[in-house]
C-alpha cells in the first residue's frame, strides 16, 4: 500500500487579539474575521512542495476550548467557514450567487452548541471538505471568515455576515494538506539519462530506410 506524505496546518484563534494586530495576525472585534500572518506553507508541505503542482486542503477538526454560552440559539449558531489567502483552484471558489470565481473558498461548517459548562467541544470531519490549491508561494497570510447560512438581501447586495454583537469563542482549526497525485512534476533527466536515451535512439535507427544494410562483423 502506497503511503502519501501529508502536511498539517493548525490555526489558533487564541493567538489573536480582538480588534487588534499582533505578530501572529489580526482579528475583528467578534472574531468573525481572522488573519494568520506569515504561514510557511512550503515548510508544512515539505519535500512534496517541489514534486507537485496542486494540493488538497482538507478540514480535519475544529476544537472549541472555551464555553459557547454566549452564542444565541439562532442563525448565529450555524457557522459556515471560508478561507482566503491561498491560491485556490477556480473550481473551489465558484459562487452560485455571482456566477464567478473569487479568492475565497468554503472550507467547512460548525454548529455552536449553546453550552454553559466549561467543557470544550471538538468537531471532527470525515474527508469531506476538499479544496484544491495551486502550489502557493512560500509564505502566506491566511484569512478565515465566519458567515451565516441565511442571506440578507438589500437591492443587488447579498450578505451572509453574522451579527456583530455575537462574540465567537476561541477555536483551533486543523487541516491536512495532501498532494494531487495527477499533478506530479516530471523530473528533468540527468546527463546520464540523456546519454542513455541518445544511445537508445541510435540503436533503433532504421538503416534500411537510408540505403544501408547493417552487418554482423566478427573480430
Per mean pLDDT, which range of 92-101, 138-147, 164-173 is the poorest? 92-101
C-alpha dihedral over 24, 27, 32, 34, to 10 degrees? Answer: -30
pLDDT reported for residue 165 = 82
pLDDT reported for residue 64 = 85
pLDDT reported for residue 4 = 76
- pLDDT for 208-218, tens place per residue? 555 555 555 55
Confidence of residue 74 (pLDDT cuts 50, 70, 90): low
Cβ-based neighbour number of residue 211 at 10 Å: 6
pTM > 0.75: yes or no: yes
When the pLDDT of each residue in the chain is averaged and rounded to a whole number, the result is 81
pLDDT reported for residue 10 = 97
Check pLDDT > 80 for residue 1.
Answer: no
pLDDT reported for residue 214 = 53
- The structural domains of the chain, ordered by start, are 7-209 (2.60.120)
Confidence of residue 88 (pLDDT cuts 50, 70, 90): very high
Confidence of residue 26 (pLDDT cuts 50, 70, 90): very high
Instruction: With beta carbons less than 8 A apart as the criterion, state whether 64 and 79 touch.
Output: no
- pLDDT for 150-208, tens place per residue? 888 888 888 888 888 888 888 999 999 999 999 999 876 656 655 666 566 665 555 55
Query: Would you call 100 helix, strand, or coil by DSSP?
Result: coil
Check pLDDT > 70 for residue 76.
Answer: no
Among left, alpha and beta (phi > 0; psi -120 to 50; other), residue 107 is: alpha
pLDDT reported for residue 98 = 66
Check pLDDT > 70 for residue 87.
Answer: yes
Comparing CA positions, the residue from 104, 88, 82, 2 lying closest to residue 41 is: 88
Instruction: With beta carbons less than 8 A apart as the criterion, state whether 62 and 108 touch.
Output: yes
DSSP string, 44-89: HHGGGGGTBSEEEEEEEEEEE-S--TTS-SSGGGEEEEEEESS-B-
Amino acid at each position: 500500500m502506497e503511503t502519501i506524505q501529508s502536511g498539517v496546518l493548525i490555526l489558533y484563534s487564541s493567538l489573536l487579539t480582538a480588534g487588534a494586530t499582533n505578530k501572529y495576525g489580526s482579528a475583528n472585534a467578534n472574531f468573525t474575521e481572522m488573519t494568520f500572518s506569515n504561514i510557511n506553507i512550503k515548510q508544512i508541505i515539505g519535500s512534496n512542495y517541489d514534486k507537485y503542482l496542486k494540493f488538497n486542503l482538507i478540514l480535519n477538526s475544529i476544537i472549541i476550548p472555551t464555553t459557547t454560552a454566549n452564542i444565541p440559539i439562532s442563525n448565529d449558531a450555524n457557522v459556515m467557514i471560508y478561507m482566503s489567502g491561498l491560491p485556490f483552484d477556480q473550481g473551489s471558489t465558484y459562487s452560485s450567487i455571482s456566477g464567478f470565481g473569487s479568492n475565497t473558498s468554503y472550507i467547512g461548517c460548525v454548529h455552536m452548541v449553546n453550552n454553559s459548562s466549561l467543557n470544550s467541544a471538538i468537531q471532527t470531519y470525515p474527508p469531506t471538505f476538499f479544496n484544491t490549491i495551486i502550489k502557493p508561494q512560500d509564505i502566506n497570510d491566511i484569512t478565515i471568515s465566519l458567515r451565516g447560512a441565511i442571506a440578507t438581501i438589500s437591492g443587488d447586495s447579498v450578505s451572509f455576515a453574522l451579527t456583530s454583537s455575537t462574540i465567537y469563542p476561541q477555536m483551533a482549526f486543523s487541516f491536512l494538506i495532501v498532494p494531487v497525485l495527477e499533478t506530479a512534476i516530471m523530473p528533468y533527466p540527468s546527463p546520464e539519462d540523456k546519454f542513455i536515451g541518445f544511445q537508445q535512439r541510435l540503436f533503433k535507427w532504421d538503416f534500411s530506410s537510408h540505403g544501408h544494410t547493417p552487418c554482423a562483423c566478427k573480430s
